[in-house]
């Protein structure tokens, strides 16, 4: 009895509980109750026939979906006969994909990734018939890789990152993860440290390409929304706390109250997960006058002077929030959650603050700090001290903003390096 057989058996035994959890999560986020048959690899009879190549890209949630944008655009340009099948695990990832890739029409199809059994993955492959599977960042599924190998579909892990903590988890899975790693044809890693950790799992080919996220271009529509949002805030100085996680908002809000900031300082909090918008709104309301971003949609609506806090309760507008702020704190880093990527804020020339816990993005965060684009804070109170200092010092803020933009521009080019590595796996494209 093989380790992967036991893994598959656990999946089948757990499936009723997995589906029940999916249904329960749908109470807070209705998207979990939509398209659920796709997770079981059940599709309509129409095979969505495509005359050219189908390239399969898996982006688990919002961050990976947004990171994949320059790669997907480049793939479609380099292989004009191709279409992309883009799979996700979360409804927020799927919604982000719908917003980002609507212009590609029939050349981009979205679906949920089927649960990782050989039967379901096999049905998915028979239905869509991909010629390659590209997994974004950290997603490794043993049965998916095994079925692709059996059907001679090469698997690549692109924009790959692997923290020491994630490596430890993978190593504890032993033979299961080692066999999966050996089935990966290519890893395009963000950093040399990521490549070293991936190689230690047994991957044959791991090449450092840099982070594709540096190649994301802020869309003009997002910048226009950001300009309108900023106009609604008047002459306020804006401290943005982006992609905050559960437990962080209360710390930030209490620190904001203690800091007794000047009346023209506006705190904007954008939680990472939309199902928490109402909970965070309640936290804010308990501490003073607040407004929701959704109340600012009308052109005539402005943030009243008495309002000190705004809740960013919208999806797909992170570039707009960065465009509208004066400096940005990147959430998930005050508590030991690993942090989020600071590249988008840097790409818009915004000074960046990060907390003590950035282990998921160690190198890029440290590089930004070393470049003068970012500052590390020790706590929520330190966040407020440093944030208010930046808001009060126009010269320091402008200098950090220039360093942030230079840092982002310096690291571009990962998409083309990745594309060159993928060409032998996909075949000849546009001449």
Q: Is 192 a catalytic residue?
A: no
Residue 273 makes CB contacts below 8 A (sequence gap 6+) with 92, 245, 246
- Alpha-carbon torsion 186, 192, 197, 200, what sign? positive
234, 302 Cβ separation under 8 angstroms: yes
**CA distances, 22 to each of 60, 174, 246, 337 (Å):** 15, 28, 20, 23
User: Do 122 and 90 form a contact (C-beta atoms < 8 A)?
Assistant: no
How far apart, in whole angstroms, are the C-alpha atoms of residue 132 and residue 149?
10
From the candidates 29, 34, 38, 64, which is the catalytic residue? 64
* Partners of residue 108 on adjacent β-strands: 84
- Per DSSP, 39 falls in state H
186-189 β-sheet, strand order: 108-112, 83-88, 54-58, 132-136, 155-160, 186-189, 206-208
Which pair of tokens denotes residue 118?
A: 């050989």
Q: DSSP per residue over 167-216, as a string?
A: HHHHHHTTHHHHHHHHT-SEEEESSHHHHHHHHTTT-S-EEE---GGGGP
For the record, the structure tokens of 45 come out as 């009879």
Active centre residues (catalytic)? 64
């Amino acid at each position: 009895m093989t380790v992967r057989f036991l893994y598959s058996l656990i999946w089948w035994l757990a499936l009723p509980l997995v589906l029940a959890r999916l249904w329960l999560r749908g109470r807070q986020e209705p998207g979990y109750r939509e398209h659920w048959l796709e997770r079981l690899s059940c599709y309509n009879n129409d095979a969505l026939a495509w005359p050219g190549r189908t390239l399969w890209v898996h982006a688990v949630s919002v961050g990976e979906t947004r990171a994949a944008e320059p790669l997907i655009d480049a793939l479609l340009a380099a292989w004009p006969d191709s279409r992309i099948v883009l799979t996700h695990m979360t409804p927020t990832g799927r919604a982000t994909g719908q917003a980002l890739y609507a212009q590609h029409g029939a050349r981009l199809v979205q679906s949920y990734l089927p649960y990782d059994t050989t039967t379901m993955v096999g049905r998915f492959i028979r239905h869509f018939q991909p010629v390659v599977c590209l997994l974004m960042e950290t997603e490794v599924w043993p049965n998916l890789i095994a079925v692709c190998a059996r059907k001679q579909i090469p698997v690549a892990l692109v924009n790959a990152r692997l923290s020491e903590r994630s490596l430890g988890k993978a190593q504890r899975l032993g033979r299961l993860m080692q066999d999966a790693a050996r089935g990966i044809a290519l890893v395009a890693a963000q950093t040399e440290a990521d490549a070293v950790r991936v190689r230690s799992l047994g991957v044959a080919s791991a090449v450092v390409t840099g982070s594709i996220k540096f190649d994301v271009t802020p869309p003009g529509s997002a910048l226009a929304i950001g300009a309108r949002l900023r106009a609604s805030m008047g002459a306020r100085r804006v401290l943005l706390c982006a992609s905050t996680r559960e437990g962080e908002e209360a710390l930030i809000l209490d620190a904001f109250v203690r800091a007794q900031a000047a009346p023209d300082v506006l705190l904007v909090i954008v939680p990472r997960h939309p199902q928490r918008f109402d909970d965070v709104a309640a936290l804010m309301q308990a501490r003073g006058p607040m407004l929701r971003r959704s109340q600012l949609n009308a052109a005539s609506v402005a943030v009243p002077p008495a309002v000190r806090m705004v809740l960013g309760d919208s999806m797909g507008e992170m570039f707009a929030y960065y465009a509208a702020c004066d400096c940005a704190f990147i959430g998930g880093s005050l508590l030991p959650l690993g942090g989020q990527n600071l590249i988008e804020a840097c790409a818009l020339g915004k000074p960046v603050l990060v907390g003590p816990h950035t282990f998921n993005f160690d190198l890029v965060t440290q590089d930004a700090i070393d470049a003068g684009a970012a500052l590390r804070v020790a706590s929520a109170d330190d966040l407020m001290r440093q944030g208010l200092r930046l808001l009060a010092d126009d010269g320091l803020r402008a200098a950090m903003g220039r360093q942030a933009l230079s840092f982002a521009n310096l690291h571009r080019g990962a998409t083309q390096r990745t594309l060159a590595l993928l060409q032998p796996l996909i075949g000849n494209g546009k001449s």
